[in-house]
Chains A and B, each alone.
Chain A
Amino acid sequence: MDTAIATDDPGAPVESYDRLGRALARAYRLPPLAVAGAVLVLAAVAVLSAVTGAAGLPVTGVLSALAGAVPGVPVESTLTERQEAVLFQIRLPRLALGMLVGGALGLSGATYQGVFRNPLADPYLLGVSAGAGFGAVLAFGFGLDLGWGPFGAVPAAAFVGAVAAVTASALIARGSWSSPATLLLGGVAMAALFSAAQTYALQRLDETRAREVLSWLFGQLNTSGWRQIGIVGPYVLVCGLILFVHRRHLDVLRVGDDEARSVGLDPARTRLILIVTASLMTAAAVSVSGLIAFVGLVVPHLVRLLVSSSYRVIVPLSAVVGAAFLAFVDIGARTLVAPSELPVGVITAFVGAPFFAFVLWRGAARDLS
């Protein structure tokens, strides 16, 4: 492509105008091919996940049942009643939870990387994981019950712990929304503190309880019906929408605070909004799924390396790819050692790390900023 530009004669205005038009379109529009590809992959993963499991379901049956469930579509489900129950009460809720959590982690990972202008940033950067872990240990092992309404004791405690850790990080770095490095270091301090508290609390537990907590910490998407979806869904959707409409601001932040201000964006306020939103969303996801590592770090990088380095593209695509990735990995988590389960967080790292290493190695020449 570069040689084509080098030989481009300035005396050929039509061609360069076309190129300019295309470049401008690409600069503000989502790339249709990449979006279509990501959505197709997500759909394929969804179907694969729905048919795979202890009780295998026929693909046509699943599709007919899904179509039939949509009001106004005259399709008769070909599944038996029992198969339908498996599909609607076990498979689909779990699939939906995987997609919500994966999408939330991908999206907030992308946001954190943009806000901190740091390729190492992930959703757990400001202590969300340590706070949630500490809360969960207290709920599991010490009977801390913050449950309220539809919120169970463990998710409620994890959520409160996560929000507390992020808030503490922000308080330490008070007034430094314009200095992401201070905030980041505040996060490091809080993460260390909450991790220590979590480890101490874990040590005081008996072995059975401790195992229970550990398996929660490694992340799982166990779900009983649709209840957890109802808890985490609204958070993810509302926060996701807020992050989505701010995606252009993340691109403006890439040129630095001074220049962002000079073109009319308040970097500190933008950072505040985005960090609060992404942290809330992460806390909600963590509270129902535990600590699923790697998704929030890797997914935005995959999009960046494969599609575009613009956050207008990275933000929405990270949500879709994150959803597909976690839903796919969860198929393995519940089938590989059936009838028992592998913690999905372990598999995300097992699958994700080598793949990520490969992509990084291929694209090592390219800048990640």
Chain B
Amino acid sequence: MGLLDTEFSDDNIVITKVDDLLNWARLSSLWQMSFGLACCAIEMMATSASHYDFDRFGVIPRPSPRQADIIIISGTVTLKMATRIKRLYEQMPDPKYIISMGSCSNSGGPYWEHGYHVLKGVDRVIPVDVYVPGCPPRPEALLEGLLTLQEKIRNESLVKKAV
């Protein structure tokens, strides 16, 4: 991905910033919590299956929130499920990231008006890093969302910038 490619030509000493090293490590192995909600989960499955192959971005499904770095909210979040999602999110170790996949988890989607039991946007209970639009988003859109998240992580810093 650019950072280390040219550094190993002669010797094996690399000089880099701590920020860059940590960010590179984080963004290259985003372990995903394998957790599907609704229709979008099927597209998420298709993304991790043979044709689109999520693995090549370092995304490996983990069944436990305690081993996961990233949670993809893939589908409609209902009021009954929202408290569970919040608890799952709290169980994940820092640093943790969230991709909100599909219209439903972005804003309620087609259920925004009459959905008496639908939470209109998962960002009402947990903070979201990347929104992927679509109903459901194509696998390519989800991949783009992941690349956007990687870009975001690449620009993070340990030092708090002065405001």
| Chain A complexes with chain B | no
